[in-house]
Amino acid sequence: MKKTAEELIQFIKESPDAFHAAAAVTARLKEEGYEELTERKSWKLESGKGYYVTRNDSAVIAFRIPEGEFSGYQVMASHSDSPSFKIKENPEMVVDNHYVKLNVEKYGGMLMAPWFDRPLSVAGRIMVKETTADGKKKIVSRLVNVDRDLLMIPSLAIHMNREVNEGYRYNAQKDMLPLMACGCEKGQFKAIVAQAAGVKEEDILAQDLFLYSRSQASIWGAQDEFVSCGRLDDLQCAFAGLKGFLEAGHCEMEEVSQAGAEEKKASTVPVYCMLDNEEVGSGTKQGAASTFLKDILTRINLATGGNEETYLQMLAGSFMVSADNAHALHPNYADKTDPTNRPYVNEGIVIKHSANQKYTTDAVSAAVYRTICEAAGVPVQDFFNRSDMLGGSTLGNIANTQTPMNTVDIGLPQLAMHSVYETAGVKDTCYLIRATRLFYLSNVAELLF
The CATH number that applies at residue 141 is: 2.30.250.10
User: What whole-number distance in Å separates Cα of residue 241 and Cα of residue 80?
Assistant: 12
Per the CB < 8 A criterion, the answer to whether 19 and 57 are in contact is yes
- The string of pLDDT tens digits covering residues 311-338 is 999 999 999 999 999 999 999 999 999 9
pLDDT exceeds 80 at position 438: yes
Q: With CA atoms as reference, report the closest residue to 180 among 96, 101, 116, 118.
A: 101
Per-residue pLDDT band at 266 (split at 50, 70, 90): low
Is the domain of 380 the same as that of 431?
yes
| Residue 234, preceding peptide bond in cis (omega within 30° of 0) | yes
Is the domain of 236 the same as that of 190?
no
pLDDT at 346: 97
Is the domain of 303 the same as that of 346?
yes
Is the domain of 309 the same as that of 441?
yes
Is the domain of 256 the same as that of 375?
yes
295 assigned to some structural domain: yes
Residues paired with 77 in a beta bridge: 273, 322
27 assigned to some structural domain: yes
pLDDT exceeds 50 at position 372: yes
Greatest Cα-to-Cα distance within the chain, rounded to the nearest angstrom: 77
pLDDT exceeds 90 at position 264: no
Q: What's the mean pLDDT in 244-267? A: 69
Q: What's the mean pLDDT in 90-112? A: 95
What letters, b where the CB count within 10 A reaches 16 and e where it falls short, cover 198-223?
ebeeebbeebbbbbbbbeebebeeee
pLDDT at 131: 85
Is the domain of 135 the same as that of 266?
no
219 assigned to some structural domain: no
Comparison of pLDDT for 31 and 448, the residue scoring more? 31
Is the domain of 337 the same as that of 246?
yes
Is the domain of 141 the same as that of 38?
no
Is the domain of 252 the same as that of 151?
no
222 assigned to some structural domain: no
Average pLDDT, the chain: 94
Give the full edge-to-edge strand order of the sheet including 326-327: 218-220, 226-229, 422-425, 413-415, 326-327
Q: With the C-alpha atoms ordered 173, 176, 178, 179, is the resulting torsion angle positive or negative? A: positive
pLDDT at 276: 97
Domain count for the chain: 2
Q: What's the mean pLDDT in 375-398? A: 92
Per-residue pLDDT band at 447 (split at 50, 70, 90): confident
Per-residue pLDDT band at 258 (split at 50, 70, 90): low
Per-residue pLDDT band at 265 (split at 50, 70, 90): low
pLDDT exceeds 70 at position 262: no
Q: Which of 214, 241, 270 is the endpoint of a domain?
A: 214
225 assigned to some structural domain: no
Is the domain of 417 the same as that of 276?
yes
Is the domain of 361 the same as that of 264?
yes
Kindly report which listed range (33-42, 180-189, 214-223) carries the lowest average pLDDT score: 180-189
pLDDT at 449: 59
Per-residue pLDDT band at 425 (split at 50, 70, 90): very high
- The string of pLDDT tens digits covering residues 339-354 is 999 999 999 999 999 9
pLDDT exceeds 90 at position 116: yes
223 assigned to some structural domain: no
Comparison of pLDDT for 392 and 38, the residue scoring more? 38
User: What whole-number distance in Å separates Cα of residue 98 and Cα of residue 414?
Assistant: 41
What angle in degrees, to the nearest 10, is found between the helix axes of 2-13 and 426-441? 90
Is the domain of 30 the same as that of 117?
no
Cβ partners under 8 Å of residue 367, min gap 6: none
Cβ partners under 8 Å of residue 205, min gap 6: 126, 127, 128, 129, 139
pLDDT at 261: 43
pLDDT at 24: 98
Per the CB < 8 A criterion, the answer to whether 409 and 360 are in contact is yes
pLDDT at 80: 97
Comparison of pLDDT for 134 and 24, the residue scoring more? 24
Per the CB < 8 A criterion, the answer to whether 272 and 380 are in contact is no
pLDDT exceeds 60 at position 256: no
pLDDT exceeds 50 at position 294: yes
- Portion of the chain with pLDDT greater than 70, in percent: 96
Q: Which of 152, 182, 214 is the endpoint of a domain?
A: 214
pLDDT exceeds 70 at position 427: yes
- Portion of the chain with pLDDT greater than 90, in percent: 88
Q: What's the mean pLDDT in 225-244? A: 97
Q: Which of 214, 240, 267 is the endpoint of a domain?
A: 214
CA 118 to chain centroid, in Å, comes to: 23
Range of the domain at 60: 2-82+230-448
Side-chain half-sphere exposure of 209, counting CA atoms within 13 A: 29
Comparison of pLDDT for 120 and 447, the residue scoring more? 120
25 assigned to some structural domain: yes
The CATH number that applies at residue 348 is: 3.40.630.10
Taking the whole predicted model, whether its pTM rises above 0.85 is answered as yes
User: What whole-number distance in Å separates Cα of residue 57 and Cα of residue 78?
Assistant: 16
Q: With CA atoms as reference, report the closest residue to 373 among 329, 323, 328.
A: 323
